[in-house]
Amino acid sequence: MQNSLGSLIEAAGIFIYPLALCAFLAAFIIFERLFALRTSKIIPDELVDAFISGDVLKRRIEAGTVGGRIVHFFLDQHPDDEGIKAFARMQVNAMERGLFILEIIIAGAPLIGLLGTVTGLVSVFSGFSAETGLPDPGRFIEGVAMALATTVLGLSIAIPALIGNALLIRRVESLSARLNVGVERLIDIAHRNAAQSAQ
């Protein structure tokens, strides 16, 4: 396994550098976002319970989570409906940080592999002798190896990045739905408080 991986890396030539960068960035973003998008850091269960019970304004909510920041913004700034929704959207947008880089890698890694494939094939065909019509064995093997290695590496990077991106997008959507319910609950509480004050 190690020998075959080493052979792939060696055969990819100069294209291994951008492909390695893509692999590093994809792995870093996926693991960093999985760590950052934990439920306990976005909208913990106790905050969900506070929203459901309606006593979210009576509890001491920490500002260390996304949901907590939304509650503190609501309490400190007393925004209107659109203001609290805009702040929540801004928080959700921050949760998506780095995902656009994953999308670039998903599209870019196979294209880098394809470029390596074309470069390898050009090397193969440019090594044919005009006199004999036969290829130079060394250049032929090297060119075909580069063509295959860059394709394999490009797809091997793009496929896990695609899966990771899909999982992270689904995670953000799920958490943002919970946050939106909390925001609607805050708006409802604010309207009821305003109605009681008017009476």
Q: Which of 98-107, 120-129, 147-156, 177-186 has the lowest mean pLDDT?
A: 120-129
DSSP 68-122: HHHHHHHHHH---HHHHHHHHHHHHHHHTTTHHHHHHHHHHHHHHHHHHHHHHHH
Tens-digit pLDDT profile for residues 40-93: 888 888 888 777 776 776 677 777 888 888 888 888 887 788 888 999 999 999
Tens-digit pLDDT profile for residues 87-128: 999 999 999 999 999 999 999 999 999 998 888 888 777 766
In DSSP terms, which residues pair with 115 in a beta bridge?
A: none
